[in-house]
Amino acid sequence: MNDIYANEFSLFTNFFCPTLKLTSKAREGSKWVRKHSKQITHAQRVLDHADIPKSAKEKLSAQMKSLNPFMLQKQIQRKLKAIFKLLRYPPNSRKRSTLR
């Protein structure tokens, strides 16, 4: 499970899952009015930031171009299937027979 989070899942969420960022929150009467920025990915926020060095931005954009979201999802699903299979039938246990 740690392998999925360290590799495919973090790459998938950082490069391909856009998120909203809260820009302001104000109270109008009895209600709170929240305003959000446009949806962009975490990687795009880093690329848009002015304080990030150009070399880091180039490295990040090269990594972004090399990734395929469909392949990442397929790898995540394959690893999760293997984990769930192990949970269902642990290696040290025997499958219970229905005959007694």
- Structure tokens given for 39: 């949806």
Q: How much is the pTM? A: 0.70
Confidence of residue 1 (pLDDT cuts 50, 70, 90): confident
Element (H, E) at 2: helix 2-4
- Predicted pLDDT at 88: 79
Find all residues with CB under 8 Å of 1, minimum gap 6, and list them: 83
- Predicted pLDDT at 45: 92
Confidence of residue 98 (pLDDT cuts 50, 70, 90): low
- Predicted pLDDT at 93: 61
Confidence of residue 96 (pLDDT cuts 50, 70, 90): low
Q: Which of 9-13, 30-34, 77-81 has the highest mean pLDDT?
A: 30-34
15-72 confidence digits (pLDDT tens): 999 999 999 999 999 999 999 999 999 999 999 999 999 999 999 999 999 999 999 9
Find all residues with CB under 8 Å of 45, minimum gap 6, and list them: 21
> How far is 88 from 82, CA to CA, in rounded Å?
10
DSSP label of 5: I
